[in-house]
Amino acid sequence: MTAAGTARLRSADALRAARRHGRRRDAVLVTALAVAAVVLFVAGLVFGAKTLALPDVLRALSGQTVPGVSFAVVELRLPRAVGALLAGAAFGLGGMLFQTLLRNVLASPDVIGISTGSSAAAVTAIAFFGASGLVVSGAAITGGLLTAVLIWALASRRGLSGLRFVLVGIAVAAALQAVIGYVLTRADIKAAEQATVWMAGSLSRSLWDQLAPTAPALLALLAIALLGARTLPVLRLGDDSATALGARPARNRILLILCAVLLVAVATSLTGPISFVAFLAGPIALRLVKRDSALAPASAMIGAIIVLAADLVGQHLFPITLPVGVITGAIGAPFLLWLLMRGRTRA
Amino acid sequence: MTHTLEARNLTVGYDADPVIDGLDLALPASGITMIVGGNGCGKSTLLRTLARLLKPRTGSVLLDGSAIAQLPTKEVARIVGLLPQAPVAPDGIRVADLVDRGRTPHRGWLGGRDRRDDEVVADALHVTGMAEFAERTIDELSGGQRQRAWVAMALAQEPDILLLDEPTTYLDLAHQVELLQLLVRLSRERGTQVVVVMHELNLATRYADHLIAMRDGRVVAEGAPGDVVTVELLRDVFDLEAVVVPDPIAGTPMIVPVDVHRA
Amino acid sequence: MTLAPAPTTSAPRSGTRTRARLTPAWAIVACAVAVAAAAALSLALGARIVPVDAVWNAFFQPDGSTDQAAVLSRVPTTLTGLLVGAALGMGGALMQGMARNPLADPGLLGVNAGASLFVVLGMTLLGWQAPLAIVWCALAGAAVAVVIGYGAAAASPGGATPVTLALAGAAVTAIATAVITGILIVDESTLESFRFWQVGSLTAASFSSLAQLGGFLALGAVLAVGCAGRLNALALGDDVARGLGVRVGAARLTAVVAVVLLCGAATALAGPIGFVGLAVPHAVRFLVGADYRWIVPLSAAGGATFLLVCDVIGRLLARPGVLEVGIVTGLVGAPIFIVLLRRRKAVGL
């Protein structure tokens, strides 16, 4: 072995060691986030109108009928916690995908109108058709998807420019916001109140009848998005380099954005737009992880944590129950400000 | 392994006035080829079309006789590497990670990594002189260092054909020469077919084995620098009045502009 | 000594268009005409449609007729539309130049959210309903929001760059929105009044509120026009701007102060009206190119025209009632903006 050859091998070892260190650190981070999510999940089962004992909760979960516990845990709290977990992960991951693929930190589903579309459809259904429950959810999904298609159609002109997509999205959002304003001022006060509550985002609608269709869809979409996000490290190098490395950036981008739209639309149909989570999760994850490959799982976890925590706070910290959408902004935003002031600027 | 990369009757561009119109070209099987020409002559467009980044309106690019558009893009990536003109790096990426991206074409879909990957990356870092910067983030580097990191990434692909689009732009003269010497070594020691779009004419004439001069989307002249670079060519292709003298060190043609104020 | 002629170069490729389509002189004339026409329409049209000569007569040959009364009753609304539209247009131009992000809109800094928050607090905690009280709440809220947002951005390691400003502003907006929603859900009576304030309306302002806030608007306008030149340098990047002798931090701060004054006062007078600040500067840029010394003042005229036209449309569509201007700006402005976007291959700053 020549001296140069030995030197090369040692560098290769050094590289491997450094990469393993980075990967380990990220694994620790993602694990810590997962643990936090689990803790919050369980807390959601334990605390409530009545604080339950943890062993009782676990027994109820395992299928045994525990008087005074099973109903609360299985019928009320469990679907709520599951909804919070899945919707939070969906918003977090979907938002991060939007921001990364459109290369603009402001390009979040609420800014570019997808959530506004869901809200407009839902609010119209509530205020003018007196709808509730699954009908409103259906309207929300349809509204979100139609809005995405509309933005796509309007922004496509000999290919898709990320910037034009976002600008068209903002314009569409403004128009939809006007529609919402119209509905809120023309409906009677009770309906307006209901619509406002829906738009604040809430987990109280997350019961098994709502969750049954939504949860499998969200799980499938999360899995697909996490798999697809593995191409992100190459995509972030720019279309030229990505193509030169054998990727198909245009096609991957389309598929991932489609995934992100579906994630946000379905999650919104369950909880209403608690979409500031979608805006926050990406920038927070970016400042916490060391390697690109951990961005997607971290964003999903952070989204879930924010929503779970916000729900706990909303239910227990104040004399009245506040909807989760109110709290996500109040928790997440100051945290982002703190991160901004403390950390390195990373775009 | 040598490969053949050629363009047949290539037309690129969608406006009424295409950038490249009916161009035929066969890249030499070895050595360093440099493409030169004035601004807007289509040299970058040609390189990007050869790299299959752009789709020609008519005509085709052939890699080893097959249309490059029909070949699986990952397979092409194992043969052809590219350093684009203004590469975009995500903020905060470490140099080692950036170079590691170059191994993507050699990895399966699930991204399995083996020992060899790290050795190739280490090798690429050494060859470009970036080994000491491996753990630094790309925003901490100077323009020249960043450029060399990108070259290392292209090298990590282990390409048989290496295309570089104006790679010397952000480099000082010492680093420009260093990069060109690296390309010469790659060409001679590893048999890599190197194709460079060059802005600096004198460096092109000095280091190229084969020179291609373009104007208005067409090849005006092609051949060894000694044969191709004449006073008439400089006038036609570059609108430049100059004399051509032998370089005192390399013997290659050296272009000395004729300037009223310096006569 | 004569210079030898430069060697001929090949003609520029077709497909490169010069960006400015209107010379500044024509642009000024066009804008003045547009503003005057919009104002005339605003005075003439409404529940009662008044012929154009009656508008003229109402000011110069008063005859006490009902037509005259109608016109005079629309003066505060028209005046509000002019001032608020101009303020929003200028504010938007400043935001886009300062944030180097074409998505920037005055709401980005948190102006609207802050104003709304203090209005809601005023309504809920203090039971204030009087227009004048609302106005000062809104202005105070806008100022506080921007101070927090700008302060956080400036305190970050990189300083107040476009990215950190955008993030900080979005964070502030989110906090404010969260508190607002919380209050609205609990206090139904506040929701009742707030939902109307939220859609924006030009009728809420009176001469006295216009007079009180006019000073802020004037100061904001002066600052805006004053820093427009420096925005041209900022658009080239902080380093280049410093190289041109611009004090980047001071320029940005001036722009932010101007935005707070202009958009804070505008929101205070008419409620949060979106989209004007985003779309009008883009449209102006299509017409006159990328020089902020023209974009800023022409955005004022453009904003005034656009807002008044939208208000008139709102009055006509819902006669004898009214469709609030904030709703119309969104419904009308968005399609126009999208059409503009589709006609250009690239949208730069």
Tokens of B140: 């901490």
Query: Can you give the pLDDT at residue A205?
Result: 77
Considering all CA atoms of chain A, what is the largest pairwise distance in Å, rounded to the nearest integer?
A: 85
Query: Can you give the pLDDT at residue B116?
Result: 85
Q: Which helix (H) or strand (E) holds B225?
A: helix B225-228
Q: Beta strands B193-197 and B161-165: pairing type?
A: parallel
Where residue C316 falls among pLDDT bands split at 50, 70, 90?
A: confident
Q: pLDDT, tens digit, for every residue of A14-50?
A: 888 888 888 899 999 999 999 999 999 999 888 877 8
- Give the SS3 label for residue B215: strand
End-to-end Cα, chain C, rounded Å:
41
Nearest to B17 among C7, C8, C13 (CB): C13
Chain A closest-CA separation from residue C61 CA (Å): 40
C7 occurs within a structural domain: no
Q: How many residues does chain C have?
A: 349
Average of per-residue pLDDT across A122-130: 89
Nearest to C342 among A157, A166, A344 (CB): A157
Query: Can you give the pLDDT at residue C101?
Result: 67
Q: What subunits touch chain A, counting only 3 or more CB pairs under 8 A? A: B, C
What is the spatial distance between Cα C243 and Cα C3, in angstroms, rounded to a whole number? 30
Contact yes or no for B220/B31 (Cβ under 8 A): no
Q: What subunits touch chain B, counting only 3 or more CB pairs under 8 A? A: A, C
Chain A closest-CA separation from residue B57 CA (Å): 14
Sorted by where each starts, the structural domains of chain A and their CATH numbers stand as 25-341 (1.10.3470.10)
Query: Can you give the pLDDT at residue C111?
Result: 84
Whether residue A158 is predicted with pLDDT greater than 70 in this model: the reply is no
Q: pLDDT, tens digit, for every residue of C263-284?
A: 888 988 888 887 888 889 988 8
Q: Is A157 on the interface with C (CB under 8 A)?
A: yes
C78 occurs within a structural domain: yes
Inter-chain touch A19–B100, beta carbons under 8 Å: yes
Please provide the average confidence, as pLDDT, over all residues in chain C. Answer: 80
Tokens of C277: 């600040």
The 3 state secondary structure assigned to A116-169 is: HHHHHHHHHHHHHHCCCCHHHHHHHHHHHHHHHHHHHHHHCCCCCCHHHHHHHH
| Max mean pLDDT range (B196-200, C171-175, C283-287, C336-340) | B196-200
Q: Is C158 on the interface with B (CB under 8 A)?
A: no
**Contact list, B89 vs chain A (CB under 8 Å):** 237
Mean pLDDT check: name the lowest of A190-194, C23-27, C199-203, C241-245. Answer: C23-27
From residue C289, alpha-carbon distances to A319, B138, C92, C103, C349 in Å are 56, 35, 16, 18, 9
Q: Is A248 on the interface with B (CB under 8 A)?
A: yes
Contact yes or no for A340/A125 (Cβ under 8 A): no
| Max mean pLDDT range (A71-80, B88-97, B155-164, C68-77) | B155-164
Q: Is C17 on the interface with B (CB under 8 A)?
A: no
Supply the pTM of this predicted model: 0.81
Taking each helix axis from N to C end, the angle separating C248-270 and C131-155, rounded to the nearest 10 degrees, works out to: 160
Residue with tokens 């249309």: B67
* Neighbouring C-beta atoms of residue B66, cutoff 10 Å: 11
C348 occurs within a structural domain: no
Instruction: Report the CATH number that the domain containing residue C318 is assigned in CATH.
Output: 1.10.3470.10
Where residue C162 falls among pLDDT bands split at 50, 70, 90?
A: low
Contact yes or no for A291/A23 (Cβ under 8 A): yes
The count of domains in chain C is 1
Tokens of A234: 């190459």
* Neighbouring C-beta atoms of residue A213, cutoff 10 Å: 15
From residue C6, alpha-carbon distances to A324, B239, C250 in Å are 70, 10, 42
Whether residue C299 is predicted with pLDDT greater than 90 in this model: the reply is yes
Query: Can you give the pLDDT at residue C10?
Result: 34
What is the spatial distance between Cα B22 and Cα B14, in angstroms, rounded to a whole number? 14
> What ipTM describes this predicted complex?
0.85
| Domain extent at residue C29 | 21-343
The vertex-C143 CA angle with C307 and C294, nearest 5°, equals: 45
Task: Please enumerate in sequence order all residues whose Cβ is within 8 A of that of A112, keeping only pairs 6 or more positions apart, or say none.
Answer: A98, A151, A165, A166, A169, A170, A172, A173
Average of per-residue pLDDT across A63-75: 79
Chain A closest-CA separation from residue C65 CA (Å): 34
**Contact list, C347 vs chain A (CB under 8 Å):** 163-164, 167
Contact yes or no for C305/C31 (Cβ under 8 A): yes
Residue of B nearest to C15 (CA): B15
Scanning A165-184 for CB atoms below 8 A from C yields: 166-168, 170-172, 174-179, 181-182, 184
What stretches of A66-133 show up as alpha helix (H) in DSSP?
70, 78-101, 114-129
Nearest to C278 among A170, A325, A347 (CB): A170
C12 occurs within a structural domain: no
Contact yes or no for A187/A195 (Cβ under 8 A): yes
C232 occurs within a structural domain: yes
Interface test mutation site (partner A, options C103, C310, C317, max chain A beta carbons within 10 A) = C103
Q: Is B260 on the interface with C (CB under 8 A)?
A: yes
Query: Can you give the pLDDT at residue B252?
Result: 93
Contact yes or no for A276/A144 (Cβ under 8 A): no
Inter-chain touch C166–A106, beta carbons under 8 Å: yes
What is the spatial distance between Cα C150 and Cα C95, in angstroms, rounded to a whole number? 13
Chain A closest-CA separation from residue C7 CA (Å): 35
Inter-chain touch C10–B17, beta carbons under 8 Å: no
Tokens of A302: 């952070």
C9 occurs within a structural domain: no
Where residue B40 falls among pLDDT bands split at 50, 70, 90?
A: confident
Q: Is B241 on the interface with C (CB under 8 A)?
A: yes
Inter-chain touch C13–B16, beta carbons under 8 Å: no
From residue B218, alpha-carbon distances to B34, B166, B213, C265 in Å are 15, 19, 9, 60
Q: How far is CA A338 from the centre of its chain?
A: 21
Scanning B187-226 for CB atoms below 8 A from C yields: 216
- Bridge partners (DSSP) of residue A91 are none
Where residue C7 falls among pLDDT bands split at 50, 70, 90?
A: very low
- Give the SS3 label for residue C120: helix
- Which residue type is seen at C185? I
What is the spatial distance between Cα A228 and Cα C300, in angstroms, rounded to a whole number? 46
Whether residue B109 is predicted with pLDDT greater than 70 in this model: the reply is no
Q: Print burial letters for C48-66: b (CB count within 10 Å at least 16), e (below 16).
A: eebeeebbebbeeeeeeee
Whether residue C246 is predicted with pLDDT greater than 50 in this model: the reply is yes
Residue of B nearest to C13 (CA): B17
End-to-end Cα, chain A, rounded Å:
44
Inter-chain touch A19–B96, beta carbons under 8 Å: yes
What is the spatial distance between Cα B68 and Cα B83, in angstroms, rounded to a whole number? 18
Q: Is A310 exposed, middle or buried (0-12, 13-18, 19+ CB in 10 A)?
A: buried
Inter-chain touch C184–A343, beta carbons under 8 Å: no
Whether residue C14 is predicted with pLDDT greater than 60 in this model: the reply is no
Average of per-residue pLDDT across C286-292: 83
Inter-chain touch C164–A333, beta carbons under 8 Å: no
Q: pLDDT, tens digit, for every residue of A302-323?
A: 999 999 998 998 888 888 888 8
Residue with tokens 């006669």: C319
Q: Is A254 exposed, middle or buried (0-12, 13-18, 19+ CB in 10 A)?
A: middle
Chain B closest-CA separation from residue A2 CA (Å): 14
C11 occurs within a structural domain: no
Q: Which helix (H) or strand (E) holds C59?
A: helix C52-60
Q: Is C321 on the interface with B (CB under 8 A)?
A: no
Where residue C344 falls among pLDDT bands split at 50, 70, 90?
A: low
Query: Can you give the pLDDT at residue A275?
Result: 62
Q: Is C2 on the interface with B (CB under 8 A)?
A: no
Where residue C13 falls among pLDDT bands split at 50, 70, 90?
A: very low
What is the spatial distance between Cα A61 and Cα A44, in angstroms, rounded to a whole number? 13
Whether residue A213 is predicted with pLDDT greater than 60 in this model: the reply is yes
**Contact list, B241 vs chain C (CB under 8 Å):** 7
Inter-chain touch A19–B157, beta carbons under 8 Å: no
Tokens of A46: 């334990």
Average of per-residue pLDDT across B42-70: 91
Tokens of C20: 């400015």
| Max mean pLDDT range (A70-84, B139-153, C300-314) | C300-314
**Contact list, A337 vs chain C (CB under 8 Å):** 152, 168, 171-172
What is the spatial distance between Cα A179 and Cα C51, in angstroms, rounded to a whole number? 32
Residue with tokens 């051949």: B223
What dihedral do alpha carbons A81, A84, A87, A89 form, nearest 10°?
Answer: -90
Tokens of A102: 């459109």
Inter-chain touch B87–A344, beta carbons under 8 Å: no
Interface test mutation site (partner C, options B238, B239, B259, B261, max chain C beta carbons within 10 A) = B239
Question: Which of the two residues, B60 and A62, has the higher pLDDT score?
Answer: B60
**Contact list, A16 vs chain B (CB under 8 Å):** 118
* DSSP label of C104: -
C182 occurs within a structural domain: yes
Inter-chain touch C10–B216, beta carbons under 8 Å: yes
